[in-house]
Amino acid sequence: MTLITPPVAPPEPGTATHTARDRTATPRHFLMCPPVHFDVVYAINPWMDVTVPVDAGHAVVQWQALKAAYESRGHTVDVISPEPGLPDMVYAANGGVVVGGKALAARFTFPERRPEGVAYEAWLRESGPVRGLVSLGQAAERNEGEGDLLWDGQVMLAGTGFRTTRAAHAEVAERLGVDVLTLELVDPRFYHLDTALAVLSTGGPDGGTRAEIAYFPEAFTPESRATLRERYPDAVEATEADAAVLGLNAVSDGRHVFLTDRATGMHAALRDRGFEPVGIDLSELLKGGGSVKCCTLELRPDPARATAPAAPVVKEARA
């Protein structure tokens, strides 16, 4: 089905932007899953090699270091119980997406991971209301949560090409009540949007502040690259070397950017923009094709709204 796509306008050239001298960390609320059952027993992305041994104990230690890094900087971390037989459940970002207090659980592409969507839906239904979240159930379309759905504060950047379908983008727009911008991935190494793009700071809901991102242009079609350059003219463009160690699979609180310690070029680029990179060693979890962001699902509460939001729209990268 061809989606009707009214344009989502980029911020006006004169709107305010973040500056290198004024970076403020905003407390975040995350959901994570300890990798006690982590292993590579099947290969569903180019990073996975069933012949390479995995040390689950070491993976837990590395995961704990990431959790501690969040908590030491004022962020709240909830933990979902891992389930035996679901070795990829540690990649919590894939379990769903939460914006404005509305939570939608994932529906995975590969059968090996489909039970994870059920587990995350159960957590959102049972624990979400305590945290002010409303569960909208599991997605009807193939949708791999924040793996392919990244909120920039104004628009949901939505990846497609390998896992999440275009039809899922329309479902997200309707069920979460957000504007959605479709971006197409073309490199199998970057099979989820969160492996090729990171939101560094979110834009203001009134459009007065522009979101900032980092991304690897070659992971996208020419049309999607043009869309990104138009909407985010000041974006950090990652090098092949940094992208190849999942340096864009990062989490930012607006000041601190948590990312792999291996992406040294990205660390330097972030410092140049006034961010504080926080290097994390997740070498064991990299064997499954994930890093910092993959381990982190953000739980975004319902903000107070003075007026009703505009009707949601979906936009394709221009042809």
Task: From 147, 106, 149, 153, select the one nearest 253 (Cα to Cα).
Answer: 153
Is the Cα dihedral 25, 211, 285, 92 positive or negative?
Answer: positive
**Confidence label for 2 from pLDDT (cuts 50, 70 and 90):** very low
* CA distances in angstroms from 111 to 114, 123, 142, 247, listed in the order given: 5, 20, 12, 28
174: tokens are 């309707």
**Confidence label for 142 from pLDDT (cuts 50, 70 and 90):** very high
Which of residues 190 and 1 earns the better pLDDT score? 190
Q: pTM of the full predicted structure?
A: 0.91
- Please answer whether residues 165 and 300 qualify as being in contact, where contact means their C-beta atoms are separated by less than 8 angstroms: no
Per-residue model confidence as pLDDT tens digits over 169-224: 999 999 999 999 999 999 999 999 999 999 999 998 777 788 999 999 999 999 99
146: tokens are 């924040």
How confident is the model at residue 22, as a pLDDT?
A: 80
Question: Which residues belong to the active site?
Answer: 192, 294
Average pLDDT value for residue range 215-236 = 98
Q: Which residues contact 126 (CB under 8 A, 6 or more apart)?
A: none
Per-residue model confidence as pLDDT tens digits over 109-120: 999 999 999 999
**Confidence label for 303 from pLDDT (cuts 50, 70 and 90):** confident
Average pLDDT value for residue range 22-37 = 96
Mean of per-residue pLDDT scores for the chain: 91
Per-residue model confidence as pLDDT tens digits over 51-106: 999 999 999 999 999 999 999 999 999 999 999 999 999 999 999 999 999 999 99
Q: What domains are there in the chain, each with its CATH number?
A: 29-303 (3.75.10.10)
Q: Which residues contact 195 (CB under 8 A, 6 or more apart)?
A: 189, 219, 243, 246, 248, 249, 289, 294
Q: Which residues contact 139 (CB under 8 A, 6 or more apart)?
A: 104, 105, 106, 107, 117, 168, 171, 172
**For residues 158-184, b (16+ Cβ closer than 10 Å) or e, as one string?**
bbbbbbbbbbbbbbbbebbebbbbbbb
H-state helical runs in 232-306:
240-243, 264-272, 283-286
- Please answer whether residues 150 and 284 qualify as being in contact, where contact means their C-beta atoms are separated by less than 8 angstroms: no
User: Element (H or E) spanning 182, and its range?
Assistant: strand 179-184
- Residue count (the chain): 319
Q: Which residues contact 13 (CB under 8 A, 6 or more apart)?
A: none
